[in-house]
A and B are shown apart, each in its own frame.
Chain A
Amino acid sequence: MSPVFRAACERLTMLYFELLIQGLIYGSMYAIIAVGLTLVYGLLRILHVAHAGLFALGGYMGLLITNSTGSLILGMPLAAAIVGVVGMAIYRLCYQPILDQPPYVALIASIGLFIAMEEMFRLIFGPFGLTYTNAPLQSVVQFAGIYLRAVDLAIVVGSLSLLGALSWLSQKTRIGLAWRATVDDPQIAESFGISVLNVRYLNFFIGSALAAVAGVFISLLSNLVEPTMGGVPSYKALAIIVLGGLGNVAGTLIASLVLGVVEAFGTIYIGDILDRDAIAFAFLIIVLMIRPEGLFARR
Chain B
Amino acid sequence: MLRLESLSCGYGQMRAVHALDLEARTGRITALLGANGAGKSSTIMCIAGHVNVFEGRVFYKEAAITGWNPMQRVRAGIGLVPEGRRLFSSLSVRENLVIGGFCRAKDDTADGIDQVVQMFPRLGERFHQRAGSLSGGEQQMLAIGRALMSQPELLLIDELSLGLMPKAIDICYAVIADLKAKGMTIILVEQSTQRALEVADDVTVLESGAVVWRGSAREARESTEMIDASLGLTRNV
Contact = CB atoms under 8 A, between A and B. Distances in A.
B71 A188 contact: no
Interface in A177-235: 177-178, 180-181, 183-185, 187-195
Interface residues of B, number: 24
14 contacts: A177-B91, A177-B95, A177-B99, A180-B95, A181-B88, A187-B50, A190-B70, A190-B71, A191-B50, A191-B70, A191-B71, A191-B74, A194-B71, A194-B102
Given A177-B95, A177-B98, A192 B103 contact: yes
Interface in B53-97: 69-71, 74-75, 80, 82, 86, 88-91, 95
Contact of B91 (A184, A193, A195): A184
Nearest to B48: A191
B150 A184 contact: no
Contacts of A192: 74, 99-100, 102-103, 146, 150
Contact of B74 (A178, A183, A193): A193
Across the A-B interface, the 8 shortest Cβ-Cβ residue pairs: A193-B103, A184-B88, A193-B102, A181-B88, A190-B70, A188-B86, A191-B70, A181-B99
Contacts of A185: 86, 88
A6 interface: no
Interface residues of A, number: 17
A191 B88 contact: no
Given A174-B102, A181-B88, A181-B91, 7 more contacts: A177-B95, A180-B90, A183-B90, A184-B89, A190-B69, A191-B74, A194-B99
A193 B69 CA distance: 10
Interface of B is mostly: loop
A203 to B, nearest CB: 16
Interface in B79-127: 80, 82, 86, 88-91, 95, 98-100, 102-103, 106
Nearest to B72: A193
A170 to B, nearest CB: 11
Indicate the member of A177, A190, A192 with the most B CB atoms within 10 Å: A192
A181 B49 CA distance: 19
Interface string A112-126: 000000000000000
A242 to B, nearest CB: 20
Contacts of B70: 187, 190-191
A188 B82 contact: yes
Indicate the member of B50, B75, B89, B99 with the most A CB atoms within 10 Å: B99
Contacts of A190: 69-71
